[in-house]
Amino acid sequence: MLSLLLGALALTGAASAQDRTTESGEAAITDPSTECTAYAYAPVTAAKANFPEIWTPVTAIYPNDTAAYAKFTAMNASIPDISPKGTMAGDFSNFTPTYPATDPDCWWTYHQCTTPSAASGLSPDVASVPEPRTLGYGFDDGPNCSHNAFYDYLTENEQKATMFYIGSNVMDWPLEAQRAVADGHQICVHTWSHRYMTSFSNEGAFGELYYTMQAIKLVTGVTPTCWRPPFGDVDNRIRYIASQLGLETILWKYDSNDWKVGTDGITAQDVQQNYDNLIANVSGGLFDTQGAIMLTHELNNYTMQVAMDNYPALARAFDHIVPIAVAQNKTTPYVETNYTFQNFASYIANHTNATVVSDGSVSASAGASAVSGGSGSQSTGAIGKSAGVALRVPASLALGLVVLGAALCL
Ligand SMILES: [Zn+2]
């Protein structure tokens, strides 16, 4: 049995490694190092000259980009008159000593402000979801080149999430970005270069958001209407620029600290404790009136593994785990109105809760549909396939993997 399974795995890897040109081909690769070998994707290659340098902070709109200039010029005069803060790497030591304790800019990094004053005219950030006993499920920093095992796991559990994508990663791993839409996940913006946003000039901050939106549109065919500031670093100036671009600011109330393991004395045990605390808070009634958002990441294999390890317990604790847009009853998550999500009521009616089996793995209930339900549907678009169609691992192989996984655990 084991040798048969391994043989099947080897065959799958060898066959799928040939196709690095389509979303489905890329999604079928099971070897992480093959997944993370660079490839060229023609639409990105053709458009690269119109985008900023990958991983380089955007300081200005790209020369001759008249569409971007027009958009920026239209908002520029009304951007709140707030000076940039600190450095792009997040050193605020020269800034905070003179910053008023009243926090006039509603600067999250200072005292976690998420509610700008009424006078600002800005909407509050989204740090919780309105639906009770519900987890607004999301992951930052993708698309990660080696995310297939994680996305396979989500698909097997019919679980959709909100993915906060970095523009530079989208340009590097466009087929991985397409997979989010193909699998029915929601995509939000997580800036171009992942620096502290309050440090940027107005034009630079605009560019960090704008070019990420353009990259996601280029690759997936959809334009996000939400963003999350890296490190949560946002103030009223940055909120305004984002809002003028049609982006709602999404933060969190709970931090798993998965991204910090190995730094600042944070250990894997601390991360587990953060998950455990969140779960204890559900039974403690903390989310009986509104649901939760916890900061978790697609950053590396550890953060994805810890997400999978904790999914069964989260699924047991919360009544519902849904993408943030679904928990907000936001049925058009993108600028393109041909792509729709179900509202919360119909989403949960069509997504039977995952049932947790005794060995700790999770399997979807038989009543839930793997192909037609989907949280999203798209009649046209760059990918040209229904968002709900996602199963790429043959059922027999998937079952085999579960068996193999269980065997290895013993
Ligand atoms: Zn991030």
Between CA 231 and CA 235, with CA 232 as vertex, the angle to 5 degrees is 130
Sequence-ordered alpha helix ranges (H) in 123-235: 148-156, 167-172, 174-182, 202-220
Least confident of 158-162, 266-270, 354-358, 400-404: 400-404
Question: Strand, coil or helix: what is 105?
Answer: coil
Give distance in angstroms: CA of 195 to centre of ligand 1: 9
Q: Is 316 exposed, middle or buried (0-12, 13-18, 19+ CB in 10 A)?
A: middle
What percent of the chain is modeled with pLDDT above 70? 81
Give distance in angstroms: CA of 298 to centre of ligand 1: 9
Tokens of 261: 């393991």
Catalytic residue among 147, 297, 320, 351: 297
Instruction: Summarize the confidence of residues 378-398 as an average pLDDT.
Output: 33
pLDDT at 361 over 70: no
Write the pLDDT tens digit of every residue in 107-132.
Answer: 999 999 999 999 999 999 999 999 99
Give residue 18's pLDDT: 65
Partners of residue 136 on adjacent β-strands: 293, 322
Instruction: Summarize the confidence of residues 329-356 as an average pLDDT.
Output: 86
Query: How many other CB atoms sit within 10 Å of the CB of residue 234?
Result: 29
Ligand 1 is a single-atom ion; what residues have CB below 5 A from it? 140-141, 230
pLDDT at 194 over 90: yes
Write the pLDDT tens digit of every residue in 390-410.
Answer: 323 333 333 333 333 333 232
The interaxial angle of helices 268-283 and 301-317, nearest 10 deg, is 20
Taking alpha carbons only, the member of 48, 46, 1, 34 closest to residue 407 is 1
Write the pLDDT tens digit of every residue in 198-256.
Answer: 999 999 999 999 999 999 999 999 999 999 999 999 999 999 999 999 999 999 999 99
Write the pLDDT tens digit of every residue in 19-54.
Answer: 899 999 999 999 999 999 999 999 999 999 999 999
Q: Is 140 a known active-site residue? A: yes
Strand 138-142 to 162-165 pairing: parallel
Query: Which domains are seen in the chain, by residue range?
Result: 2-409 (3.20.20.370)
pLDDT at 4 over 70: no
User: What's the mean per-residue pLDDT of the chain?
Assistant: 86
Least confident of 62-71, 244-253, 295-304, 358-367: 358-367
Distance, CA of 82 to CA of 234 (rounded, Å): 12
Catalytic residue among 140, 172, 183, 258: 140
